[in-house]
Amino acid sequence: MTETELDPKFVAVCASCDTMAVSEETADGSIRPLAVPEDCTCGDGDFRRLV
Ligand SMILES: [Zn+2]
């Protein structure tokens, strides 16, 4: 079995429009999308992590 390396990137969804975006967790624990998808019209809304 190969142990999966810790990958800081994960999928998060916009709290406002539920658009998914690949995101990363910053050193202070907040979630930041790597690129805000076009479908997310609210731009820099809050993102929450999808498990
Ligand atoms: Zn959005």
Strand arrangement, sheet containing 47-49: 31-33, 20-25, 9-14, 47-49
- The rounded Å distance from CA 17 to ligand 1 centre is 4
| Domain-wise residue ranges, the chain | 9-49
- The rounded Å distance from CA 14 to ligand 1 centre is 5
In this prediction, residue 1 carries a pLDDT of 66
* For residue 45, pLDDT beyond 90: no
Q: How confident is the model at residue 46 (pLDDT cuts 50, 70, 90)?
A: confident
- The rounded Å distance from CA 8 to ligand 1 centre is 21
pTM score: 0.71
- The rounded Å distance from CA 37 to ligand 1 centre is 8
Q: How confident is the model at residue 44 (pLDDT cuts 50, 70, 90)?
A: low
- Tell me the pLDDT tens digit for each residue of 2-34: 666 556 799 999 999 999 999 998 888 889 888
CA distance 47 to 36: 10
